[in-house]
């Protein structure tokens, strides 16, 4: 096969001294699907950013069609027909989906007919099961819907090489299957695809070849389909002890004797972004020591419920009671001071502030002060060091920019920071989305262990995750609670309730 793109000895060393990619050499052939597999922090996303012109390599060479190229920007890469779907969708929130597409086409220097591009884009959205109009505001879309927009853009702009970074994280199983069919069709048409995932089964199912990264290096390349699961695990994790439950990502569940209610939601109605109500008469109670899960297909009011609980959206009617106090009309800062901790699905921008250091991201949440409004930086550094050490965040210094952390390290930092404050209730949305099996298990353990002395509400599109860690599961569909289930759970019964 003829190589479309070849990397020779590529390394990326950030100004802080962190080596994200080390001496990586890799070929991507025409018309193939190459899965890039590895645990969080392995260097997958950084390597993809090098190929897509977002990150400049510290050393090494890039060849396209046999000619050495210097990709200095995103536009350089798109001009060569290379487009990357980021793990966290990067849409312009104040624009409509159509306006965002048009702007992306212009910024990329697209030379085709805009009408054809728009028609192809809309067709891709339909195949992915998008239930929204291209006139919808990007800010009104759920994470899953935003991901579909990014995937559809890649089909238009990645005319030679499309790079998908964890594209199925926010998709349902049926939507993931549709994406898989689209990816295979792209390959059959002669395009190349790099498919980044932490899911071993997904890589084995979709790829022609699998490249495994560990510690910033290419640990191995499996050249044929039908790869051996155990071999992949060994290449991903090396000699680290990975038992069966870690491979599956499971956390053992222990029975609890719940205490009194710490969070009550009473007849909550929340207006949607396009008229009507996104949340319709929801009533739930979370008790001390228990984990209540909310299952449902994306776009059924889960995001609006999270936003109203966090104080970012106002309900039309109903009430929210935190530890016996009505906080319905209180702001987010007040809710946090009263013992509410929030873990949003958007790590950057909402959960963490890009451009700021790890220490500053902790300071703006913990707020340690010495006098008046002056921050006691010595105290901040001590707390930040305690937090990152407690959960094993891989960082050289607390003054490192939070942006250079891997997705898994960002998530561990965010969860540990929220738990450090000693909350009464944890409200988390898709807390393990995009994490590898070991990191997902670690984050679940953090939440489950802490929830035994507080309460937790976990909103997740991963039903397996909810069945694993929850004491009760409520199913949300069309903005309403369609069923409330207790252990032992019946997977099929819950799944039927989700689609009823």
pLDDT, one tens digit per residue, over 339-373 is 999 999 888 878 899 889 999 999 888 764 444 55
In a domain, 250, yes or no: no
In this model, does residue 251 exceed pLDDT 70? Answer: no
User: Is 266 in the same domain as 222?
Assistant: no
User: Is 91 in the same domain as 216?
Assistant: yes
User: Is 338 in the same domain as 457?
Assistant: yes
Q: How far is CA 131 from the centre of its chain?
A: 21
276, 287 contact by CB (below 8 A):
no
In a domain, 249, yes or no: no
Per-residue confidence at 238, pLDDT binned at 50, 70, 90?
Answer: confident
In this model, does residue 273 exceed pLDDT 80? Answer: no
**Which carries the bigger pLDDT value, residue 498 or residue 52?**
52
pTM of the prediction? 0.72
**Which carries the bigger pLDDT value, residue 371 or residue 139?**
139
69, 56 contact by CB (below 8 A):
no
| Across 42-55, average pLDDT | 93
Q: How many structural domains does the chain have?
A: 2
In a domain, 254, yes or no: no
CATH number at residue 190: 3.40.50.300
Per-residue confidence at 253, pLDDT binned at 50, 70, 90?
Answer: low
User: Is 155 in the same domain as 280?
Assistant: no
User: Is 123 in the same domain as 231?
Assistant: yes
In a domain, 228, yes or no: yes
Return the pLDDT at 369: 43
User: Is 207 in the same domain as 288?
Assistant: no
Dump pLDDT digits (tens) for 317-330.
999 999 999 999 99
Q: List Cβ neighbours of 354 (8 Å cut-off, separation of 6 or more).
A: 348, 401, 402, 403
Per-residue confidence at 139, pLDDT binned at 50, 70, 90?
Answer: confident
Return the pLDDT at 257: 63
User: Is 178 in the same domain as 273?
Assistant: no
Identify the weakest region by mean pLDDT among 41-45, 94-98, 326-330.
41-45
Dump pLDDT digits (tens) for 12-29.
998 777 788 999 999 999
Dump pLDDT digits (tens) for 455-483.
999 999 888 899 999 999 999 998 999 99
For the four alpha carbons of 401, 406, 411 and 413, in that order, the dihedral sign comes to: negative
User: Is 210 in the same domain as 129?
Assistant: yes
Q: How far apart are CA 148 and CA 141, in angstroms?
A: 10
Range of the domain at 448: 261-499
Report the percentage of the chain scoring pLDDT > 90: 53
Dump pLDDT digits (tens) for 260-270.
899 999 999 99
User: Is 335 in the same domain as 456?
Assistant: yes
User: Is 96 in the same domain as 146?
Assistant: yes
Return the pLDDT at 364: 82
In a domain, 467, yes or no: yes
428, 419 contact by CB (below 8 A):
no
User: Is 268 in the same domain as 362?
Assistant: yes
In a domain, 362, yes or no: yes
Neighbours of 64 (CB within 10 A): 20
User: Is 359 in the same domain as 290?
Assistant: yes
């Amino acid at each position: 096969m003829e190589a479309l793109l070849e990397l020779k000895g590529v390394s990326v060393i950030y100004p802080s001294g962190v080596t994200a990619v080390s001496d990586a050499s890799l070929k991507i052939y025409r018309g193939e699907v190459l899965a890039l597999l590895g645990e969080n922090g392995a260097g997958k996303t950084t390597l993809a950013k090098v190929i897509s012109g977002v990150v400049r390599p510290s050393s090494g060479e890039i060849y396209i069609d046999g000619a050495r190229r210097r990709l200095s920007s995103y536009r350089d890469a798109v001009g060569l027909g290379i487009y990357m779907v980021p793990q966290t969708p990067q849409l312009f929130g104040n624009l409509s989906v159509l306006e965002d597409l048009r702007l992306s086409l212009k910024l990329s220097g697209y030379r085709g007919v805009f009408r054809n591009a728009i028609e192809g884009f809309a067709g891709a959205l339909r195949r992915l099961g998008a239930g929204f109009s291209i006139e919808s505001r990007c800010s009104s879309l759920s994470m899953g819907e935003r991901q579909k927009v990014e995937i559809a853009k890649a089909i238009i702009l990645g005319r030679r090489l499309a790079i998908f970074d964890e594209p199925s994280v926010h998709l349902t199983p049926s939507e993931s299957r549709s994406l898989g069919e689209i990816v295979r069709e792209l390959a059959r048409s002669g395009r190349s695809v790099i498919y980044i995932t932490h899911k071993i089964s997904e890589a084995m199912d979709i790829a022609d070849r699998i490249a495994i990264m560990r510690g910033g290096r290419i640990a191995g390349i499996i050249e044929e389909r039908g790869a051996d699961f155990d071999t992949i695990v060994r290449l991903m994790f090396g000699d680290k002890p990975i038992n069966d439950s870690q491979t599956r990502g499971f956390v053992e569940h222990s029975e609890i004797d719940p205490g009194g209610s710490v969070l009550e939601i009473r007849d909550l109605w929340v207006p949607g972004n396009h008229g009507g109500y996104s949340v319709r008469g929801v009533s739930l109670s979370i008790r001390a020591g228990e984990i209540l899960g909310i299952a449902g297909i994306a776009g059924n009011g889960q995001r609006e419920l999270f936003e109203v609980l966090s104080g970012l959206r106002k309900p039309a009617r109903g009430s929210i009671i935190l530890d016996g106090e009505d906080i319905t009309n209180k702001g987010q800062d007040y809710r946090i001071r009263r013992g509410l901790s929030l873990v949003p699905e958007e790590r950057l921008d909402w959960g963490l502030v890009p451009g700021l250091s790890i220490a500053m991201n902790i300071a703006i949440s913990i707020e340690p002060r010495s006098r008046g409004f002056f921050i006691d930086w010595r105290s901040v550094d001590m707390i930040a060091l305690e937090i990152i050490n407690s959960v094993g965040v891989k960082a050289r210094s607390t003054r490192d920019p939070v942006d250079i952390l891997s997705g898994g390290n960002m998530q561990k930092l965010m969860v540990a920071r929220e738990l450090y404050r000693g909350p009464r209730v944890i409200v988390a949305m898709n807390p393990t989305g995009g994490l590898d099996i070991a990191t997902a298990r670690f984050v679940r353990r953090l939440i489950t262990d802490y929830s035994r002395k507080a309460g937790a509400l976990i909103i997740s599109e991963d039903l397996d995750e909810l069945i694993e860690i929850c004491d009760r599961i409520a199913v949300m569909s069309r903005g309403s609670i369609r069923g409330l289930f207790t252990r032992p759970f019946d997977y099929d019964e819950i799944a039927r309730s989700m689609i009823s």
